[in-house]
Chain A
Amino acid sequence: MKFTLSWLKDHLDTDADLQTITDKLTAIGLEVEEVVDPSAALAPFVVAEIVSAEKHPDADRLKLCQVSTGTETVQVVCGAPNARAGLKGVLARPGDVIPATGVKLKTGKIRGVESQGMMCSARELQLGEDHDGIIELDDDVSVGVSAAEALSLEPVIDIALTPNRVDALGVRGVARDLAAAGIGTLKPIDAAPVSGTFDSETSVAMRLSGDTAHLCQHFVGRTIKGIKNSESPQWLKDRLTAVGLRPVSAVVDITQYINIDLGRPLHAFDTAKLSGDVGPRLASDGEKITALNGNDYTLTDAMLVISDDVSAQAIAGVMGGESSSCTEETTEIFLESALFDPITIANTGRALGIVSDARYCFERGVDPASTIDGAEIATRMILKICGGEASHLAIGGAAPDIGATVSFRPTRVGQLGGIAITADAVQEILKRLGFAIGNAESEAWQVSAPSWRRDVEGEHDLVEEVLRIHGYDAIPVEPLPRPAVAKPAFTDDQRRAGVVRRALAGQGLSETTTWSFLSSAHANLFLEGSAPVVLENPISSDLDVMRPSLLPNLIAAAGRNAARAMPDIALFEIGPRFEGSSPGEQTLMAGGLRAGQTSPRHWDTKTQPADVFDAKADALTALKAAGVQTNRLQIGAAAKAGAPSWYHPGQSGTLCLGPNVLAEFGALHPLTLKGMDVDGSMVGFEVFLDRIPKPKRKSGPARAKFSPSSFQPVERDFAFLLDEDIAVDDMIRAVRSANKTLIASVDLFDVYAGDKVEQGKKSVALSVRLEPVQATLTDNEIEDVSHRIVAAVEKAVGGQLRK
């Protein structure tokens, strides 16, 4: 909301300077967003008079003007239709910077004639939208004075209003709040009834009833006849222009002015264009209206209109209709002032996409007492500026009693605010804000809110009012009582996710953050037929489905990087995947992706494309960091608990604890990558962090006793011949099971399939380390373990020891 200092001072008697006022506005919750001083940009411009205006010798539309600044006369070529001798306007001279364009003016030749300056339009000086002609100043302005002075330009204050500040919708409300905060005193306002001289021919027809009656409880209006609706006086035009509005005609300008001044929207209909009586009703479904902005709107039966006997003449509380709008020919008007339901106005404005000052006020909640007061103040102004004669006020309904009476314990100010403010001071602040206080001797006061405080519902609202006006700055800082030594802030699960994050980064993957949504085309590649979780109103069709997996966004990210000539990439993300559209239907995942080579080309190492074992290592790193004993994991592959279909069927797997799949990994299926329109091969993994068993904390942080063996460990190598389709992991498990106390580790060091072994077989060589705990192993004991290992492998996977 914008206003100027002099406008504010119409309502506020104060000597405070601009800085004091703007600081206070921010301190009481009317945040000053910006103070714009247009005079600064206009400093070089002066008032000049066109002495003569001749036709340009070489162009029909241009004029050759001699322009006087009092001290000099310059020649200006001007294309404005209103350029004429005797006009006083604003002259820009060579070297001056035109505010609207930022361009420095130069002497130039226009159609062969030199132009030593430019007569400016309002738009060029950023004083308004008008660019139909050059600025015309009043005749009594002196030539040669600064344009800023002549245009009575002053700083414009722009404040941001929070939705609750219904009381500060107008300049007067702002003045009232400042007065309450000790900046000056609020001036009285004359809202006395204008005595009408006749009954309004157009009367009010309340066409709402029953359960819709509350949508417009009060509707008043009056006829004003014999008016002259010409241009507004300069001061009124200046004020509207200063706050960014475009003057139209006196009557319209006055309604705009009252809207800004008092936060009271009004509308004036040209009675010559009305048929019968006027009043509120619900629109019929499909009803059409052309609004003042020239656009056609189709209404629904949830919208309010102001209608005459025949058709809708305005979208109530939002925008007037074109057909009954006032023009300069208008001589008789029906001035309307009404109170509309905020929610209905908000919904209508949103549905139709209309932003207007009236809607802004009504959807927050206009002061119900201003319906009549606003009409009277506006009538007085119209009679003064446009002449004419006013009728009695026609009234439909009555002002609802909105100001609440609230039980208020002044002690709550100190309890919630943490500041000692005396009861007297509390009372003083509330009174200055317009509240009436009863029962002031008791513990709980009865505080009645003024009509303009529709937002006040309870005690907490009054606490806020007192603290706000007293000032948040005055609240003393008091440290929050805190524990001597705090407990951990993270739960075990949260801590685990943090460790996984750092472990994966340590593994060489870079963390990224991608959207929780993606395109349905990409999502479908990761759904295996289950239903996508779609958004009803996505930001774009590329982001219309909640992600079923972390991989597609990572794949797309790798693709984007490849397009930037960075094809070798390792990324991970920790975040949710979504399984359904209800709260909780999501799983926290750690997902990672590698594309291209695992390392750059190097003189001493071979580059290698990322393969399934990189993805498996990444998954194991994450699981280990999450506290999983990775040697207990079973590996699912192919038909037996294999990875989902977006992976390469022969180069992928899962990591499980029994039936609980903790991770999936593998090379991505080429068709999946093709579907995502990325090139090359990629490998990835996803760990289901939410599925990992909770850490057991039975015994506290103490570790098991450290008891290293003092006996010589023994290493023995074995080579087995297995069927090629046997999973080596099954064989290793069999080896381990041969003697769980003695076998400390099993390391696989060779896998061979080829000429030297039977077709369909592979040779697997491993090294077994035996660590005795009670005595050094004898040859017989070693022999015994070896036999058990060979037997276990044979039994479990049919492997034969190679001799």
Chain B
Amino acid sequence: MDQLEQLREALLAEVAGAADLTSLDGVRVSALGKKGRITAMMKGLGGMDPEARKSAGQAFNVLKDEVATALDAKKAVLEESEISARLASETLDVSLPVRPVTEGLLHPISQTIEEVVEIFAPMGFEVAEGPDIEDDFHNFTALNFPPDHPAREMHDTFFLPRQPGGTRHLLRTHTSPVQVRVMQDKKPPIRILAPGRTYRCDYDITHTPMFHQIEGLVIDKAIHMGHLKSCIIEFVKAYFELDELPTRFRPSYFPFTEPSAEVDIGCSRENGELKIGAGADWLEILGCGMVHPNVLSACGIDPDEYQGFAFGLGVERIAMLKYGIPDLRTFYDSDLRWLRHYGFAALDVPTLAGGLSQ
């Protein structure tokens, strides 16, 4: 059995000495392969007597298993060190910048309109739209602006050239004509919001010839100023994301509402910084009122049966106040730096469930 023991030691030494997977495989073939040494020895069993064959066979099997186990163990070690060596050669500087992804952003005007719609949607408002180019009837006459009334002059209207028949169209000076179109088309009850572009011939620090408004209109049989106040108070709190926000309703004048009101919200101005919320000052935020009976009549709605309220807000103005945007004119400049600074991510969808702003 010395021979067997010598073989065992020789083979285990060879396994231990294999430097890489290739030489290890050589050891395996030379030991266990068809022409391997253990195989060759086992072939000699045929010439033994049954007893000797049995004990020698067992010894061979033990050796075979032992060598096979050693081979597997060595193989695992060699594989691991080979992977380590490969990985060591694959080292990268992970501080390198990643491949660029260009992020597009949304303009504050569209985001603000979506925020406002989100607040009014649960109150049952629907969004309505109308044309930018309007006629005198929808922009003025139906809204109870008498011809030549000074209020028309205050609107700085852009006109299109008079047409052969004498009609002269104009760029709508407010989103209120959408009210008229909705009331002409639809029977009450009505609850609409009408966002859109509006135009006035005025251009200075606080005016641009184009700007955006959102008009609101509620018409039903028993809508009154208490409802109007509630609606506006809830809106400004939700929009500015404040639990408490003082509001003040001041009597005012609009041709298309009576009684009319302007709404102020509380603010403070300290060290030149404007902060919305309870404070010593007031800030005008929107105009509103009960729809004038002449407007209802002009739209074919009986003012003795139906009544309601309307309000109008400036989109840029409320965006500037909420997001601290100082200059109105920059909204239209398409300055990429400004868009990146004040814009909103594509997935930043304002919802009541998730919060209007992030």
Contact = CB atoms under 8 A, between A and B. Distances in A.
A514 interface: yes
A281 interface: no
A124 interface: no
B104 A509 contact: yes
Interface in A377-417: 415-417
A506 B138 CA distance: 38
B100 A605 contact: yes
A162 interface: yes
A486 interface: yes
Interface string B208-229: 0110000000100011111101
Contact of B252 (A162, A505, A516, A560): A162
Contacts of B203: 539-540
Contacts of B229: 472, 475, 477-478
A480 B346 contact: no
B271 interface: no
Contacts, number: 269
Nearest to A561: B336
Contacts of B57: none
Interface stretch (B20-28, B76-84, B114-122): B114-122
Interface stretch (A42-50, A458-466, A668-676, A712-720): A458-466
Interface in A303-355: 342-343, 346-347, 350
Nearest to A560: B334
Interface residues of A, number: 101
Contacts of A511: 104-107, 110, 339, 343
A583 B135 contact: yes
B193 interface: yes
Contacts of B205: none
B86 interface: no
Interface string A657-676: 00000000000000000000
Interface stretch (A254-262, A529-537, A733-741): A529-537
A467 B259 contact: yes
Contact of B159 (A476, A490, A535): A535
B123 A490 contact: no
Contacts of A749: none
Contacts of B96: 603-604
B207 to A, nearest CB: 10
Contacts of B249: 472-473, 475
A489 interface: yes
A540 B210 CA distance: 13
Given A502-B347, A511-B339, A566-B337, A163 B121 contact: no
Nearest to B227: A480
A602 to B, nearest CB: 6
Interface of B is mostly: mixed
B225 A489 contact: no
Given A163-B154, A477-B226, A586-B131, A510 B104 contact: yes
A364 B88 CA distance: 89
A543 B218 CA distance: 36
Contact of A472 (B106, B110, B159, B250): B250
A603 B133 CA distance: 51
A599 B120 contact: no
Contact of A535 (B135, B158, B307): B158
Nearest to A556: B334
Given A29-B251, A583-B133, A506 B153 contact: no
Interface string B168-199: 11010000000000000000000001000101
Interface string A156-184: 00000011110000000000000000000
A461 B332 CA distance: 40
Contacts of A624: none
A464 B333 contact: no
Contacts of B197: 516, 575-576
A512 B110 CA distance: 9
Contact of A501 (B106, B161, B225, B258): B106
Contacts of B154: 163
Given A516-B197, A570-B102, A583-B138, A478 B336 contact: no
Contact of A569 (B122, B161, B252, B336): B336
B122 A513 contact: no
A602 B100 contact: yes
13 contacts: A418-B226, A464-B251, A473-B249, A477-B233, A488-B121, A498-B114, A513-B109, A517-B209, A534-B160, A564-B336, A574-B110, A576-B132, A578-B133
Interface of A: 26-29, 31, 162-165, 342-343, 346-347, 350, 363-364, 415-419, 458-461, 463-464, 467-468, 472-473, 475-480, 482-483, 486-491, 494, 498, 501-517, 533-540, 543, 546, 554, 557, 560-561, 564, 566, 569-572, 574-576, 578, 581-586, 598-600, 602-605
